Structure 1
Amino acid sequence: MRIRELAMALRSGELSPAEHVADVLDRLVADTTNAVVALDTERATAEAAARTAELARGEWRGPLHGVAVGIKDLVDVAGLPTRAGSRILDDAGPARADAPIVTALRRAGAVVVAKLHTHEFAYGPTGDVSATGPARNPHDPSRITGGSSSGSAAAVAAGHLPLAIGTDTGCSVRTPAALCGIVGLKPTFGRLPTEGVFPLAESCDHVGLLTADVHGASVTYDALVREGGGGGIQAPGVAGVRIGAPADGYWAPLDPAIADGVAAAVERLARHGAEVVEVRTAMIGELAATYPVIVGSEALATHGTWLAERPEDYQPLTRRRLERMADLPAREYVLAQRARRRLVAAMRAALDGVDALVLPTTRLRATPIGEQVIDGVTVASALLDLNLPFNLSGWPAVSVPAAVDGLPAGVQVVGVGLEERGVLRVAAALGA
């Protein structure tokens, strides 16, 4: 379900927002991926009718007018509880107000239809740890979606929705996008508001979006940052763009097909006029080592009281991850943040003159649900490690489908000298 064709049909009157939203709600009711946490049927139906009436009067809010959107259940939607995939929040009452990102979507004309599955408290990259059970990959229901924006990716990949909102603290938009074969954009840190979003680690948390293709991500991003105005999408083309291809072993995938897919992507960009240069990031291992300290410490600050009083209400894996942080001195957190600043600066210096990096999104494709180690490889690390440096740096990044057979994989485009529209322009040249 692509936003380009859908928006044209809605604006022309070939399809009404009311018909579109009713169809989406039917699809979500019949979902088999465990993507749906709650439907907002009554309000969505009323808003779809209102968007239909606006079009009948010649009023058009932009390319998201009447488009159904799902929201990760970490983000407040007025009238619905935010439970974050956890029994800890079983008794949470309805949110009193929309998070600002939801307000921006409604202003742009989008219709919120559902809250979607998340890995518990967004603290994991697999999507199979939640009070409501695992999300299932639409390409193979025995396998993970990736996380933590698991339901958002599954719903878009299954064709239920054209657009979903997720969050990304280390990989949580890009990894499920890669494993489910769709597009996931993590904008620059702070570019989309995180107020009204349950925090995992505030210094790394981003709000992002998932769509079927790059054009849909471009339209949505532009509509949100322009408060519903639309327009301003850059024409495709990468002539003269300097692409960095990381050569350090850290960036190598474990699946040869992923490596081949990334190589094909780099070759395609070169054929279209990009300048490809090999780059090295000697500091990357040291930078990556700061991530679990920073995120774990910030997560424990949020969860410490609940962890002490109600440990049994957490999923066992989440509880163990939090408990491992309990005895870490505050000094280690401060040192990690200092190292982060120094090493991000060193990475930028090493990439001087590079416009964008092109690399794998993950080291593995979707693994069986519940498997934590595959052939001696820790699944969580394989899904997280190639993404987290760009949460530490705050640079924009997008995952697009790689050219592979079988289960999907992702190619990641990271902005070094480019902002979001430039990153999406490079991604569009990959044909996604």
Structure 2
Amino acid sequence: MTKNSNTIPPDVSRLPHSPARPPLAGLRVLVSGASVAGPAVAFWLDRYGAEVTVVEKAPELRPGGFAVDFRGAVHAEVLRAMDIADDVAARQTHMGAQSVVDAADRVLVELPASMLSGDVEIHRGDLAEIMYERTRSGVRYVFGDSIASLRQDDDGVDVSFERAAPQRYDLVVGADGLHSHTRALVFGPEECHVRFGGYYFAAFGLPNHLGLDRTARMYTEPGRTVLLSHYGGDPARALASLVFASDPLSHDRRDVAAHKRLLRERFAGGGWHTAYVLDALDDADDLYFDALARSEVDGLARGRVVLLGDAGYGATMGGMGTGCALVGAYVLAGELAAARGAHRAAFAAYEAEMTAFARGCQKTAANVGPFFAPATQAAIRRRDRTYRVLGARVMTRVFRRITLHAAQNIRLKDYPRCYGARRDTTRE
């Protein structure tokens, strides 16, 4: 594991910098996506003087969402550098231990909070709101729109939108998730860049009939799992999560009715509280359904378009994608500042800094499907025995060291100290 350091490497500290003029002054950047990675890179680009627009297809910030966590010194350093560490801590879930149960609701294994929730855990929507509030005065946000087409030349990128008038930018950042439309436009169709992991995942809100309080209970049958969780907030509401093993399915990601039918078929006859969950599915208006998959892209940039976060190196679950996205945003903007906007050099440096780190984080997602839904009853028993051992106090520390290896396997350059001059004016 490479230890994190605040020491500026010689190659950064020798680069010229004029404190009177931000290094990216006049650079026009379009960022696609306003979930987590987009506002994070917008924060840094704005700090280095760029003129940043963030376009988001949703009509507004998406509230709630899944809980995401941060682990180790590297994640913590980026949160501090963005001056949001205290805000994240104030809105954390305070999730407690989570239990694996049998059909009679008897606890088989208790998993400590630190194992699944990291050092600090927060709802994705809360994190996005924090970063939006940090950036809205200097960054232009456009909601309810998306990129329709991109055309690059030697000097810039002409972008047409679904709603707004066309614009020209110097650079475009695709921070629009695992199913990135920006990546499809520039790098090619999704099937070339997203690897299916053998499982599907669904989640939706429902009444908290178990009275859970910042905890979760998980019940597993061969090839499928039902998880009921409460992450704080409304005590009357809980979150149902369902994971099942499957061959690749041909389905429309926007067809909610089809997803509900499929889930009823795959979980029919399930024990524990499965019948209750399937009944509650009828009234669900917030169903999320997707494959467990990961992005695999040959190179993170094509000309003046670059991928960030899940679009370039994400995984549906378990890959520390949020922490990786914030680190990636820090590095991408920092390398652009170090290169004073010379995108070819900056993108090459960004890729060199991030590739091994991002791949290491993705590897942690490889066992998510088998953990949630082992294929046989014998495999379920083996999983439970393994996690019963890992749940012991001594082994929890060992498990933490293992997970931190991926989360901290990068040495952050201190770009802000070299290139952190702020602009004198704020755009309207």
**TM-score, normalising length: structure 2:** 0.24
**TM-score, normalising length: structure 1:** 0.24
